[in-house]
Every structure is written in C-alpha cells, then in structure tokens.
Amino acid sequence: MSDEFAAAVSAIVEPIAGDPRFFQRTGPHSLAAVVDAADAEAPPRRLMFRGVAPLSVAEAADVSFLDNREYLPALLKTRAGAVIVHPDLADKVPTSAVAILSTEIPAAWARVASLFHPLPPALPGVHPSAVIGAGVRIDPSAEIGPLAVIGDRAAIGKRTRIAPLAVIGAGVELGMDCRIGSHASISHAILGDRVYVYPGARIGQEGFGFTITPEGFLTVPQLGRAILRDDVEIGANSTVDRGGLTDTVIGAGTRIDNLVQIAHGVQLGRCCVMAAQSGVAGSTIVEDFVMMGGQVAVAGHLVIGRGARLAARSGVMQNVPAGAEVGGTPAQPVRAWMREVAWLRRVTRSQGWGRTPVKKTD
C-alpha cells in the first residue's frame, strides 16, 4: 500500500466530528461563548475552542461531554480542553480540561454542537433548472434548488430551502425556515414553520382508501389534506397520507423517524416520537407526548392516550390509556407482558424446548 493511499484511507476511517467535507463550522469560540451556549457554569478562563469531538479523540481545542458513567474511563484519559459533565462528576474531569457543569447534559451538548455547526443558511434564489408553475409565491429569501418542481399556486415561506429534485405540488403552502430534502414530494398539504421533511419522504399522497364491491375494489376519493404543524420533522422515506374526508394532522414538535407510515385521517398530537418502521392505521388519534418504539403497529380508529409509551414491536389493537406503558402483541401493560415472557421462558427451558442438540461424534 502506497503512503498516499494509506493516508487517504486513514483520513476516511478516522473518527471525525463535523467532517469539513460535509459540515460547515463556525468559530473558534471562546470558553465564555461555549458556556453561554450550554447554559452551564465553568470557571472563567481565556481559552478558545475550534469544535466538538468524542472523549476518545478530542484534543485540547475541542469540547466534549459525558452523560453516561460507563464512559468514565474515557473521561479520565481524554485530552479534550473542556468537558460538559454533571456537577457530581466534576472531580473526575482531568486537570488538563475545564469542567463545564450542567444538570441537562444532552441539551447542553446539543446547544454547543449547534454553536460550532449551525444549520447552513438558505441561499436566496431560484436555480435556473427549477420548474416553477403559474401563480407561485416564493419569498425572495427562499432557496429553490436544481431541478426542483414547484406546482401552480404553491407558496414558499421565508428562508425555506427546497433541495434538488424535490417536488412541491399545486396549492401546497410551506411556512418559514422549512427544509425539504432531495427527492421528497409534498402534495395536498400545508406545513407550518421550521418543518423538516427529509429526503425521499412523501407527504399528502392518496391514502389507502377503497371499498369492496361485487365487481372488485372501488377507490374512495381522498379529499382531505395533510397538515404539519410547526417544528415537525418527517424522516427519510416516511409517508404521511392525506385524509379521506378529515385532515391528517401532525402536531407541533412531533418527530417521526425514517420509514414510518402515517395513514389517512390520523391525528398525531404535540411532541410525539415515532421510531423507525412504525405505522399508525387510519383515523387513529394519538394524543400529546406519546412515544413509540421501532416497528410498533397501531390499528385504526383507536385512541392512544396522552403520554403513553409503546414498546418496540408492540401490536396495538385497542385503546391505550393516558400514561400507560404497553408492549407485546397484542399489546398489554408492560409488566404483565414481561411476566408472561418470563413464564414462557421458564416453561420452555423446563421442558427442554429450544435447546440445541449436542452432536455425537464417533
């Protein structure tokens, strides 16, 4: 292997936080600016920092963090110039580093990382290759990327960014500071401010609506809309169907992971979380602050109460009370489900089921 090739491979595999090939960086920033961003406390010192990095690779000009005691050995060995830690762990920070004290480590870290790596601003203007329909309203501060398509009568808000090859359908309205990823498509929809639709997502397409007749399936017109409130995020390749008669609504602040399906007429509340490969069937109401693990399946026409937590791979077939924690298929209270799993494990082991037979050799 040549020295040049080895150096190139090393550059590729080296763990880099905020690789400049992909992420813009601001700074350097003073310790005071970092502490202010973290909304934390630290002794006043005249230091400058260039960026953020994990404990294991951070250097003297980097800020790092610790929010899990399992990584204490990495903290003791770190070469970071500053570390965000809980006050209880301040004495574990090496003397070579400044302890930035916070009781909300993940939030402090998020704010500091955003200080060094803020979202890139929109570059105002419409690319010459974009296709713009009749009667479209585009704020002068918005960015329309190459080969994007904006349908007739659509409205694009201030500082909103439309990535290359995205398609915005006729009549769609996008609020301020939205980000629409490459190859995403949005139709029959109204989006609030600061909505992020990741690449490949489909918003507002026709729902799975049909009726059965003696001659076969008859499509039912889907006449509702998809309404995404402020600060919603829709992950890559996820789908949000428009409603049949009523609207499909995604509440403010809700975060939807990649590969999630939201069916027609679903009402998702505020600040809900849905992990990858989950799905909610038509006309179900999910109240505020509900959390769903990966591969959760929720049947249609149900009510999932405020603050409920649905364990990964749950099959939800009936209403879930507010604040409940359920798991299994069909879903039931988590403790009952875990007791059943433990009982089944004991029975199968006592009967010798599931044991790998020992192969005899001559």
Q: Which residues are catalytic?
A: 264
Strand order, beta sheet including 196-197: 125-126, 143-144, 161-162, 179-180, 196-197, 233-234, 255-256, 273-274, 291-292, 309-310, 325-327, 332-333
Q: What residue type is assigned to position 112 of the chain?
A: V
Please say whether the beta carbons of 309 and 328 come within 8 A: no
| CA–CA distance, 357 with 131 (Å, rounded to integer) | 65
| Tokens, residue 42 | 């630290």
| Alpha carbon 310 to its chain's center | 17
SS3 category, 326: strand
Concatenated DSSP letters of 234-267: E-TT-EEPPPSSSPEEE-TT-EE-SS-EE-TT-E
Cα–Cα distance measured from residue 257 to residue 200, given in angstroms and rounded to the nearest whole number: 13
Q: How far apart are CA 351 and CA 302, in angstroms?
A: 39
- Whole-angstrom Cα distance, residue 35 to residue 317? 48
On whether the CB atoms of residues 156 and 141 are closer than 8 A, the answer is no
Give the residue among 18, 23, 30, 88 at the shortest CA–CA distance from 61: 30
What region, left, alpha or beta, does residue 115 occupy, with left being phi > 0 and alpha being psi -120 to 50 degrees? Answer: alpha
Residue 320 DSSP code: B
Spatial neighbors of 180 by CB under 8 A, at least 6 apart, are 160, 161, 162, 163, 166, 168, 174, 186, 197
